[in-house]
Structure 1
Amino acid sequence: MKQLSALDAMFAYTETPNTPMHIGQLLIYDPSTAPGGKVGFKDILRYIEGRLDGARIFRQKLVRVPLDLDHPYWVDDENFDLEFHVRHIALPKPGDWRQLCIQAARIYARPMDMNKPLWEYTVIEGLDNVEGVPKGSFAMLHKMHHAAIDGQSGLQMTLALHDLDAKMKPRKFDMQFEPEKDPNPMALLAKAQFNNIANPVRGLKNLQKLLPMPKRLLDVQREFRQRDDAKGSIPKTRFNKKLSPHRVFDGREFTLADIKNIREAFPGATVNDVMIAVVSGSMRGYLNAKKDLPEKTLKIGAPVSVRTDDDKDSAGNQVTMMQVGVGTHLADAGDRMKFIMEETRRSKAMTQAMGAKTLMELSGAMPAGLTAAGTKMMVRAGIVDRLNPAVNTVVTNVPGPMVPMYFAGAELVKSFGMGILAEGQGLFHVVTSYNGNVILTFLADRNIMPDPEFYAECIVKSFSDLTAAATKEKTAAARKAGEKKAKQPKKPKKRVSASAATAGRTRAKTTGK
């Protein structure tokens, strides 16, 4: 039995029918590489059953403390039923990409049963007309509650289900499943009383770690001067409204080579900078078309992992959020890219100066009962929706494997991340990578974005504009280099004295040369 951290528990407290707090993936497989060239549903069940020991969260459920007077606990579920968690459906003909996106969004919008282990997989067959996918392929939609995992630990859970070859070599896992009965409610209440006294004391001990913070922040502000057009409050957009229970989903793929080409044009840029710039351009294009583009720059939240080597095998959330202005007030894609590079460098430095991991640990200093009550009250009262947004959207980057992966012998051919929506934040972007490609997907409230196909077109247009800007930057850099070389004074030819010339002719005659 293990207790959730304050951050993990927040995702359980904010769960509502309109804001299910799970994250996920949509993975597409080609069964032609499997034994016999096909994979049946029973094959999938047997395969997953053999991998359940690869991640503890597979068979753990959440147990709440009465009245939420303390944070919940994870316990091994004595009534675990694999077939409850793995479902099976098929697309109607023609089985195209749009049908898959609609079906995935519908499934993803449904909250999970909070009384069972917090994950679900849905096998989707009938993908016969999806571009870039072999006919007869199947998809698998993953749903995993954010109280249990963050992007990095979710990746570990996914890797436990995959092999590096199609032969499915058996793997051994160290984890042991020990089903246990639910803890006694009275015992949990007694423990809650102790924790609600002990937690603030532990928090006070951690406060000394924050003493150097003001100086570090001042140093960062001196080193990284923020542009005037990056300052100010966050503008409210159509994406920052109260949510409905309905969702839309879509995504686009880009080659890593094309992204590296853009990076090279903007020295110092990262893949994350490039993808944030793509999001910036797509949001600008979409809002501009709706005549809803704010004059001030939009700002995005970018989760940053604070997971250390000691935490790499642990589940739960080890993240903080940095805020980045994305230059949506700038019309030129190249100018937006440079704006974003300045903002990300500054935000990273600020996050490091604040001591993100220490702040995360201090979040558990408040008595758990007060945290739970305050969070639930804000959600139910809709206070979040009426406040200025914390960010306009979230862009999270979860790098994936860059080599082919196999599930039950079927090759993974496409991988799409799926995010999480919260009140006041109706648009979420996920950047993932797989086998030479970088994938940008988005999840949105259907009432806020009734036309996801158009937003997907805005993503493609934004990437095209950024590619053109990169070409322009490279051309300008080459021209400057040429001009600099032309301005350099030519080295004078070395003069040879008359005596040296005579000596040379004499040597030539003597040697016959």
Structure 2
Amino acid sequence: MKQMQGLDSVFVSMEREAAPVHIGSLLIYDPSTAKDGFVRFKDILSFIESRLHMSDTMRQKMVKVPFGIDYPYWVQDSNFDIEYHCRHIALPKPGDWRQLCIQAARIFARPLDLNRPPWEFTIIEGLDNIPGVPKGSYAMLTKVHHAAIDGVSGVDMMNVLHTLTNDDTEILPRDNWRPEPDPSQIGMFARGYARSLLNPVRQAMAMRHAAPGMVRAAKGLIQRDFDFSALMKAPKTRFNGVVSPHRMFDARTFDMKDIKRIRALATGSTLNDVMLSVVGGSMRLYLDHYGELPDTSVTTMAPISVRSDNEKNTAGNQVAAMFVPLGSHIPSAQERIRYVTEETVKAKSFTTALGARQMAEMSKLAPAPVMNIGAMLYSRFKLADHIKPIINTVVTNVPGPPVPIYSAGAKLIGMHGMLCLVDGVKLGHVIHSYCGEITVNFTACRSAIPDPDFYSECIQNSFEAHLAAAAALEKSTNSKAAAGATPTAEKKPVKKPVKAATKTVRTKTIITKSADTKAANSHSG
């Protein structure tokens, strides 16, 4: 039996039927690499069951403390049944990408049973008309409660459920798993009451450790090394407000080589900066299409992992937050990525000064009753519809393996992330990288994005605008290099030497600007 951390308990308290708090992935496999060229559902079931003991998350359930006086506990489920957690369906013909996205969104919108280990895998067959996907392929939709994993520990779970080769010769560690009986409700209440008495002492000790970071942060604010403008100026958009029970999902895939070309648009930019700028451009195109583009930039929350090496493959969340404006008020892709790069540096400086690890540790000390009551009131009175937002979306970057991986012998050929939505945030993005490709995936509330096809086009158009700007910069740079390499004409000898005055000539660097490509006026709903 193990007690949850504070941030894990926050996700439990935020759970409601219309806004379940789980995250997941849509994984696509090619079974032609398996032993017999195909994979049956029972093969997948057997493969997963043989590797359950390699993850702390798979066979534990959450048990809540009476009256919510303390954080819930993780207990190894004595009634665990893998067939409850693994389901099997097929798409009707023609089995195209749009059908897969609709089915994934519907399944993802349903809450998990929190009386059992909080995860589900759904195998989806019938993917016969998806471009680039071989016939006979299948998908696996994963759902895991956010209290159990964050983005990084989710990758650890992915590693547990996959192998580096398509054979089954891997030697697995011994399964020493033992079920546990449910803890006594009276005992949990007594421990919770005792912990509540000691909580002020723990909070004081945590504040003492966090004090140096707070001083550094205050000093940086005074010196204007960073500011809170990203939080203070976030506009209210259709992406904010109370979340409905309905979800939309779609994704776009790009070549990693193009990302590296785009990075040249802004000195010091990272892959994450590029994707933040692309998302900012897509939100700009979408809002502008509906005549709702705000004058100030939309702002994202970007989770930062503070998980150490010795915390790999452990349950729970080890994350802090970084807040970055996405430059949606800037029409030029080149100017936007420069803006985002500068703002990201500021946000990282503030997080570093405050101490990302200290921020995560502080979140563990919030009293459980306060979190539960606060979440209940926030939802019941629909405060998200009435208060000014501090963010407009979430963008989380989850790197995947750079080499192919396999599950039950089937090769993973597509990886797409899905994100939970909570009141106040109706749109979330997951950036996934895998084998030289990078995908921008979004999960949205239907009331915010009723036309996911069109928002997907906006992502594509924003990316192409960045790529066009990179191509223009390359052309300009190459032209200047060629001009500089042209040999000068030979001068005729002068009979009488003349002493000439030296004159310094200053040249101006010309940078071609490229505006975002406009989104199509017509789109499918």
Task: Check conservation: 1:229, 1:297, Cα contact below 8 A.
Answer: no
Partner of 2:462: 462
> 1:86 Cα deviation (Å)?
0.1
Q: CA deviation at 1:56?
A: 1.2
Question: What is aligned with 2:349?
Answer: 349
Instruction: Report if aligned partners of 1:201, 1:365 keep a CA contact under 8 Å in 2.
Output: no
* Residue correspondence of structure 1 range 411-426 to structure 2 within 5 A: 411-426=411-426
User: In the TM superposition, what is the alpha-carbon distance from 1:227 to its structure 2 partner?
Assistant: 9.4
Unaligned runs of 5+ in 1: 491-513
Change (3 A) 1:383 1:172: same
Query: 1:213 corresponds to which letter in structure 2?
Result: G
Alpha-carbon separation, structure 2, partners of 1:228 and 1:142: 36
Q: Hey, what does 1:428 align to over in structure 2? A: 428
d(CA) in 2 for partners of 1:461, 1:18: 32
| Aligned residue type for 1:96 | D
The 3 A distance-change label for structure 1 pair 377 and 309 is same
Equivalent position of 1:30 in the other structure: 30
Q: CA deviation at 1:368?
A: 2.2
C-alpha deviations, 1:345-386, integer Å up to 9, x for none?
A: 110110111112212212233432223222222222222332
Q: CA deviation at 1:209?
A: 1.9
Q: Secondary structure at the match of 1:455?
A: helix
For 1:212, what is the secondary structure of its paired residue? Answer: helix
Post-superposition offset of 1:128: 0.4
The CA distance in 2 between the partners of 1:89 and 1:6, in whole Å, is 37
Is the CA contact (8 Å cut-off) linking 1:85 and 1:119 kept in structure 2? yes
CA contact (8 A) 1:106 1:247 kept: yes
CA distance in 2, matches of 1:341, 1:222: 22
Mapped partners of 1:228, 1:2: distance in 2: 37
Matching residue of 1:493 = none
Residue 142 of structure 2: aligned partner? 142
1:19 correspondence with 2:19: yes
Report matched runs for 1:42-61 at 5 Å.
Answer: 42-61=42-61
Q: Could you say if the C-alpha distance between residues 398 and 166 of structure 1 is closer, same or farther in structure 2, counting changes exceeding 3 Å?
A: same
Equivalent residues of 2:249, 2:452 under 8 A apart: yes
**TM-fit CA distance, 1:197:** 1.6
Instruction: Give the C-alpha shift of residue 99 in structure 1.
Output: 0.4
Distance 1:77 1:227 in 2: 47
**Is contact 2:56-2:313 (8 Å) kept?**
no
Identical columns (%): 48
Other structure's SS at 2:466 match: helix
Deviation of 1:308 (Å): 1.6
Give 1:233 deviation, angstroms.
2.0
Distance across 1 between alignment mates of 2:348 and 2:315: 24
Q: Tell me which amino acid in the other structure corresponds to 1:300.
A: T
Mean CA deviation greater in 116-125 or 209-218? 209-218
Q: Does 1:409 align with 2:393?
A: no
Question: Offset of 1:231 from its aligned partner?
Answer: 8.1
Given that residues 156 and 312 in structure 2 are in contact (C-alpha distance below 8 angstroms), is that contact kept between their aligned partners in structure 1? Answer: no
Kept after mapping to 2: 8 A contact 1:197/1:367: no
Cα separation, 1, equivalents of 2:263 and 2:316: 33
AA in 2 matched with 1:278: V
Write out per-residue CA displacement over residues 143-192 of structure 1, whole angstroms, 9 at most, x where no aligned residue: 00000000000110111010111112233236631111110100001100
Cα gap change, 1:354 to 1:175, in 2 (>3 Å)? farther
2:4 corresponding residue in structure 1: 4
Displacement of 1:220? 3.6
Give 2:116's aligned residue. 116
Q: Name 1:391's counterpart in structure 2.
A: 391
Between the aligned partners of 1:173 and 1:245, the Cα distance in structure 2 is: 41
1:450-489 superposed matches below 5 A: 450-478=450-478
Deviations 1:31-89 (A, max 9, x none): 11111111011111111110101101100000000111100000000000100000000
Secondary structure at 1:469's aligned position in 2?
Answer: helix
Q: Which residue matches 1:440?
A: 440
Residue in structure 1 matched with residue 88 of structure 2 by the alignment? 88
Give the whole-Å Cα distance in 2 for the aligned partners of 1:265 and 1:139: 37
Cα distance in structure 1, aligned partners of 2:294 and 2:3 = 43
Q: CA deviation at 1:118?
A: 0.4
Shift of 1:200: 2.1
Question: In 1, Cα distance between the equivalents of 2:306 and 2:228?
Answer: 30
- Measured after TM superposition, the shift of residue 8 of structure 1 is 0.3
Looking at structure 2, the residues matched to 293 and 5 of structure 1 have their Cα atoms a distance apart, in angstroms, of 39
Provide the C-alpha distance between the structure 1 equivalents of 2:401 and 2:30, rounded to a whole number of angstroms.
Answer: 17
Alpha-carbon offset, residue 217 of structure 1: 1.9
Matched, 1:327 2:333: no
Equivalent pairs, count: 490
Q: Distance in 1 between matches of 2:217 and 2:480?
A: 37
Q: Identify if the C-alpha distance between structure 1 residues 187 and 228 changes in structure 2 by more than 3 Å, giving closer, same or farther.
A: closer
What is the rounded CA distance, in whole Å, between the counterparts of 1:348 and 1:188 in structure 2?
40
Partner residue of 1:257? Answer: 257
Aligned to 1:161: 161
2:63 equivalent in structure 1? 63
What secondary structure does 1:395 align onto? strand
* TM value normalised by structure 1: 0.91
Q: Using the alignment, how far apart are the partners of 1:426 and 1:432 within structure 2? A: 20
Instruction: Give the secondary structure class of the aligned counterpart of 2:295.
Output: coil
Q: Following TM superposition, by how much is the alpha carbon of 1:95 offset from its aligned partner in structure 2, in angstroms?
A: 0.5
Find the aligned partners of 1:226 and 1:291 in 2 and give their Cα distance.
32
Aligned to 2:284: 284
- 1:204 to 1:484, Cα distance in 2 relative to 1, 3 A: farther
Query: Residues of 2 paired with 1:255 and 1:263: CA distance?
Result: 13
Q: Provide the TM-score with structure 2 as the length reference.
A: 0.89
- 1:228–1:360 Cα change, 3 Å: closer
Distance in 1, matches of 2:232 and 2:79, equals 53
Tell me how far apart the structure 1 counterparts of residues 228 and 356 of structure 2 sit (CA, whole Å): 26
Aligned 8 A contact 2:233 2:297 in 1: no
Q: What displacement does 1:94 show? A: 0.5
Higher helix share: 1
Output the amino acid matched with 1:76: Q
Q: 1:473 to 1:229 in 2, by over 3 A?
A: farther
Any idea what SS the aligned residue of 2:57 has? helix
8 Å CA contact 1:269–1:341 kept in 2: the answer is yes
Q: Which has the greater radius of gyration?
A: 1
Q: Using the alignment, how far apart are the partners of 1:381 and 1:292 within structure 2? A: 26
Contact 1:55-1:175 within 8 A present in 2 as well: no
CA drift at 1:405: 0.7
Partner of 1:208: 208
Shift of 1:476: 4.0
CA distance in 2, matches of 1:482, 1:323: 42
Give the CA deviation at 1:198.
1.9
The superposition leaves residues 460-498 of structure 1 with CA deviations (integer Å, 9 ceiling, x where unpaired) of: 100000011112233444566678889x9x9xxxxxxxx
Q: Distance in 1 between matches of 2:235 and 2:476?
A: 34
Partner-residue secondary structure (3-state), 2:179? coil
Contact 1:195 1:367 in 2 (8 A): no
In the alignment, what sits opposite 2:501?
Answer: none
Query: Quick one: structure 1 residues 20 and 483, their matched pair in 2 at CA, closer, same or farther if it must change by over 3 Å?
Result: same
Q: Equivalent residue for 2:297? A: 297
- Is contact 1:125–1:138 with CA below 8 Å preserved after alignment? yes
- Write the distance in 2 (CA, Å) between the matches of 1:380 and 1:172: 48
CA 1:230–1:44: 2 relative to 1, 3 Å: closer
Q: Distance in 2 between matches of 1:441 and 1:252?
A: 7
Q: 1 CA distance for matches of 2:227 and 2:483? A: 30
